Amino acid sequence: MRILPIFLFVFAFVAMAAPPKTLVIQTNAQCGMCKTSIEKQLTNLDGVKEAVLDLDTKQVTVTYNGKKVNENELRQTIANTGYQADDVAPNPEAQAKLMACCQPKKAKASGCCAPKAGASCGKKEGVK
Ligand SMILES: [Cu+2]
């Protein structure tokens, strides 16, 4: 096994350099407010460089330092904000505090969710 030492060397080198990792997490974000709060909570974490949520796919792409924060912590942060994160269920208390339209069960009934990023849940699109 001559390749193993080489592999370990490369691995050690890569670990030292700590290039940013990227993780895509499936959430259940409903609107621009969901997007803002998920991105904000993630970027508040030490080690997270960037978090961008795509409202079309509801996936958030996180760029982070794998030495400072791990995948489970990223998902847990989203769950603690009140949202689904892959197979991690949302924290029920946090979810209950979200705007009604940001909660999956109430979202359809209230119909107030703003479809675009930056828009507010408090106002219906196109309604004064
Ligand atoms: Cu929302």
Reduced to 3 states, what is the DSSP secondary structure of residue 100?
Answer: helix
Q: What is the mean pLDDT of each run of 10 residues along the chain (128 residues)?
A: 69 69 96 94 98 97 97 98 97 92 71 55 44
Report the DSSP beta bridge partners of residue 63. Answer: 22, 50
Ligand 1 (ion): residues with CB under 5 Å are 30-31, 33-34, 102, 121
Q: Is there a contact between 84 and 60 (Cβ–Cβ < 8 Å)?
A: no
Angle at 78 between CA 119 and CA 40, to 5 degrees: 50
CA–centroid distance, residue 7 to ligand 1 (Å): 45
Alpha-helical regions (H) of the chain: 3-17, 32-44, 71-81, 92-97, 104-110
- Residue 63: the pLDDT is 98
pTM recorded for the entire structure: 0.74
Domains of the chain plus CATH, in order, are: 18-110 (3.30.70.100)
The confidence score (pLDDT) of residue 77 equals 98
* Distance from Cα 33 to the centre of ligand 1, integer Å: 4
Q: What is the pLDDT of residue 19?
A: 84
- 36 C-alpha to center of ligand 1: Å? 9
What separation in Å is there between the alpha carbon of 128 and the centre of ligand 1? 19
Give the pLDDT of residue 127.
39
Give 8 Cα–ligand 1 centroid separation in angstroms.
45
- What is residue 49's predicted lDDT score, i.e. its pLDDT? 97
**Spacing, Cα 23 to ligand 1 middle (Å):** 22
